[in-house]
Amino acid sequence: MSTTSTTGTPPLLSIEDLQARVEGKEILKGVTLTVAAGEVHAIMGPNGSGKSTLAHVLAGRPGYTVTAGSVRYQGRDLLALAPEERAREGVFLGFQYPVEIPGVNNVYLLKAALNAARKQRGLPEVDAFDFLSLVREKMKLMRMDESLLSRGVNEGFSGGERKRNEVLQMLVLEPKLAILDETDSGLDIDALKVVAGGVNSLRSPQRSCVLVTHYQRLLEYVVPDFVHVLVRGRIARSGDRTLARELEQRGYDFIAGEAA
Amino acid sequence: MNTSAKTSVSTPAAAPLIQRLLEEYAGFARTLGPADGATARRRAAIAAIAQTGLPSTREENWRYANLRPLERQRFTPPGAASTAAAPTLPANLAEFARYVFIDGLLSAGASAALDASRAKLTLHDEAAGESGGIGAGLATGDGEAAQSQRFALLNDAFATGGLAIRVPAGTTPVRLELLFLASAEAATGTSYPRLQISLDPGASLVLIERHLSAAAAASFVASAVNVELGREAILEHYRLQDLNGRCILFDTLSAQLAQEAQYRLHAIGSGALSSRSTVVVRLAGERAQLTLAVAALGERTQVQDTFARVEHAAPRARTVETFRGIAADRSRVAFNGKVVVGNGAAGTDSQQSLRGLLAGPEAEIDVRPQLEIYTDDVRCSHGATAGKLDDNMLFYLLSRGLSQETAQRLLKWAFLEDVVAQIALPALRRQIEERLAAGLRDDALRELL
């Protein structure tokens, strides 16, 4: 179960009564969530409920101020770590709107990111040949054109290409905790399947995934262990995958009504 | 707005400086003797200086350049350079003839000569009696173009050497690299690089012009370059300024383009304590094309100041101007890009993209596009921004595990890319990238190159 530890080791991620504000506005009003290693959790909820804020707070985005509560990751205080330290410790945020960075080469970023994580683990820098074959293999899985590698980060990428690029980075970095912020939005059905395939390929007893999504469509392909509904900054309801289907049929209003 | 406020010799601050300059010139002229081939040019220049004075920081167009060293420096050329310490020169580029000048004079033994059948090269040593000299091609009168070129008058008056190159029409471009090394202390004398480039109709030249220090000296350099492009001539010109951090540079480049001539001018400045570059280009022929791409890096207390004045004097000419400047620490980086479209220049197409990046709390960035249009039927666009690193980009890189420092350097690097990417010579581009990576103090970047 996600809420109890059977082996005595702490859960991968443990969020307690998390409250946060953005630009002076209270967005998260007490989120409690526990994610054990190997689990996939879906966070759903209407627009403005705080889903993206939660994702960004976990990644450490400046301007997102935690006002109360705690987040423990692998038994450590996650909030005390700088964004780059969180990344090196295995936290990955897949952005809803990945930014375009012309002039910073895609493959360079991949390599620098991988080496930063390896350094943290006491590993030597990745061998150039091994690195390229790894990237090629993952690109194939994501059905991405190799020419995208030599471009600037997301430079001139379509919306779908950007999302695939996020998942590609995730596959190369192999994070312990992947937080995907509406990675499914704006994707057609074929792209959605590719992205889902990428996420599924990473599932293992050691890795966890938090999927932030507005629709249950993605959850047909990446089957979550738990589904949580965030309403007005709090988790209003938790359940298994059937909750997602119920939401699809009845909309968010019925839960919003319950939570009010 | 009229930015060319006249400076009179009688202004209290300028008067002692000009007085000293005139006296020094008189002494210098006596040493030249009757063999000097450029007497007329010198006299005209010194008369013009006496009349207009040198720029002062009170002039809008000169407020960034560091003019204080003028008060301490000696204007006379330093004479034969001491060749005691041979500096490490940049690696030779394949197929480029190379000439090395020290304090404006050709240094024998350090050069790979150009095939004489490909271009006519005249190396001047005017003091030794060669006649003709090198014309500066300066604008005359008291207009803005002339006012902005006053430092070239110093070069006109005092330079005793230089190089003139004339390229005839040809199918393959002539490749030439010129290294101007500054070695003398400013108190000993001023370095006067001097260059006249003429391309015949249909001629083609790739020119690399480097300004470097040969020593740790605080040199004063006043360079003058004149470019004449004949009909359909093509000049690809790379100017790399990497003087040591104690040097003062005043550089003046003037160019004139005939019909359908193409001038691609790439300037990258990262050196000197204070560098002021004045670029005055006249698109005199129909459908002439200018590409001006400038990158400037300032750190510590450096000043990197560029004034570019482009005049469209004929129909359907085109200008594409790009500036990227980064000011770190307490440096000041400025680019003033003025485009003047004359009344005979219908169908002008001019684009300016000027961007400055502020990378230090006490740094200063000033990017100014200016347009003066005296005709209808033109397409002139300009964009100018000055700001800090983009927070979203920065967070994205951090979220991938890159350190703050690496992320910032990477974004600075990316910022310059719009200019660096335009360098069409791979070997040169690599040299420049290595230099810039060093300038951004980034080993990680160097590794990726």
Is B44:B156 a contact under the CB 8 Å cutoff?
A: yes
- How would you list the strands of the sheet with A25-35, edge to edge? A25-35, A13-22, A64-73, A76-77
- Name the pLDDT band for B148 (thresholds 50, 70, 90): confident
B426 Cβ contact list (under 8 Å, min separation 6): none
Dist CA A111 CA A107 (whole Å): 6
Tell me whether residues A99 and B416 touch, CB distance under 8 A.
no
* pTM for the whole structure: 0.83
Dist CA B348 CA B173 (whole Å): 28
* Interface test with chain A among B395, B406, B433, by most A beta carbons within 10 Å: B395
Going A167 to A169 to A175 to A178, the CA torsion angle's sign is: negative
The predicted model gives A1-28 an average pLDDT of 81
Number of other residues whose CB lies within 10 A of the CB of residue A4? 8
The answer to whether residue A123 neighbours chain B at the CB level (below 8 Å) is: no
At B206, which amino acid appears? V
Dist CA B206 CA A189 (whole Å): 52
Q: Which of B392, B402, B416 sits opposite A112 (nearest CB)?
A: B402
Q: Does the pLDDT value for residue B131 go beyond 60?
A: no
The predicted model gives B406-410 an average pLDDT of 88
Q: What is the pLDDT of residue B433?
A: 84
CA–CA distance from A65 to each of A178, B333, B433 (Å)? 21, 35, 39
Candidates B288, B271, B267, B287; CA nearest to B279 is B267
Q: What is the pLDDT of residue B445?
A: 52
Best-predicted range by mean pLDDT among A167-171, B81-85, B102-106? A167-171
The answer to whether residue A87 neighbours chain B at the CB level (below 8 Å) is: yes
Is A198:A171 a contact under the CB 8 Å cutoff?
A: yes
A157 three-state secondary structure: coil
What's the complex ipTM?
Answer: 0.95
pLDDT digits (tens, 9 = 90+) for B303-348: 999 999 999 999 999 999 999 999 999 999 999 999 999 999 999 9
Going B107 to B213 to B226 to B187, the CA torsion angle's sign is: negative
Number of other residues whose CB lies within 10 A of the CB of residue A260? 8
pLDDT digits (tens, 9 = 90+) for B428-443: 998 888 877 776 655 5
The predicted model gives A54-66 an average pLDDT of 96
- Name the pLDDT band for B382 (thresholds 50, 70, 90): very high
- Mean residue pLDDT across chain A: 92
Dist CA B126 CA B161 (whole Å): 6
Gap from A78 CA to chain B (nearest CA, Å): 14
- The DSSP-derived string for B272-329 is SSEEEEEEEEEE-STT-EEEEEEEEEE-TT-EEEEEEEEEE-STT-EEEEEEEEEEET
Q: What is the pLDDT of residue B80?
A: 67
Is A37:A207 a contact under the CB 8 Å cutoff?
A: yes
Q: Does the pLDDT value for residue B49 go beyond 50?
A: yes
DSSP state of A60: T
Q: Which residues of A touch B400 (CB under 8 A)?
A: 87, 109, 112-113, 116, 169, 173
Number of other residues whose CB lies within 10 A of the CB of residue B272? 27
Candidates A50, A46, A45, A43; CA nearest to A26 is A50
- The DSSP-derived string for B31-89 is HH-TT-TTHHHHHHHHHHHHHH----TTSGGGSSS--GGGGT---S---SPP-SSPPPP
DSSP state of A194: H
CA–CA distance from B373 to each of A85, B8, B202, B335, B350 (Å)? 54, 29, 30, 20, 11
A246 three-state secondary structure: helix
The predicted model gives A128-139 an average pLDDT of 94
Q: Does the pLDDT value for residue B6 go beyond 50?
A: no
Number of other residues whose CB lies within 10 A of the CB of residue B296? 29
The answer to whether residue B27 neighbours chain A at the CB level (below 8 Å) is: no
- Mean residue pLDDT across chain B: 87
| B273's tokens | 């304590």
Gap from B173 CA to chain A (nearest CA, Å): 30
Is B24:B75 a contact under the CB 8 Å cutoff?
A: yes
pLDDT digits (tens, 9 = 90+) for B213-261: 988 899 999 999 999 999 999 999 999 999 999 999 999 999 999 999 9
The predicted model gives A197-209 an average pLDDT of 94
- Name the pLDDT band for A247 (thresholds 50, 70, 90): confident
What pairs with residue B310 in β-bridges? B281, B339
B244 Cβ contact list (under 8 Å, min separation 6): B213, B215, B216, B217, B219, B271, B272
The answer to whether residue B391 neighbours chain A at the CB level (below 8 Å) is: yes
Candidates A95, A1, A93, A79; CA nearest to A39 is A1
Is B159:B77 a contact under the CB 8 Å cutoff?
A: yes
pLDDT digits (tens, 9 = 90+) for B352-377: 999 999 998 899 999 999 999 999 89
Q: Does the pLDDT value for residue B140 go beyond 90?
A: no
Is A161:A191 a contact under the CB 8 Å cutoff?
A: no
DSSP state of A150: G
The answer to whether residue B401 neighbours chain A at the CB level (below 8 Å) is: yes
The answer to whether residue B374 neighbours chain A at the CB level (below 8 Å) is: no
Q: Which of B393, B402, B444 sits opposite A113 (nearest CB)?
A: B402
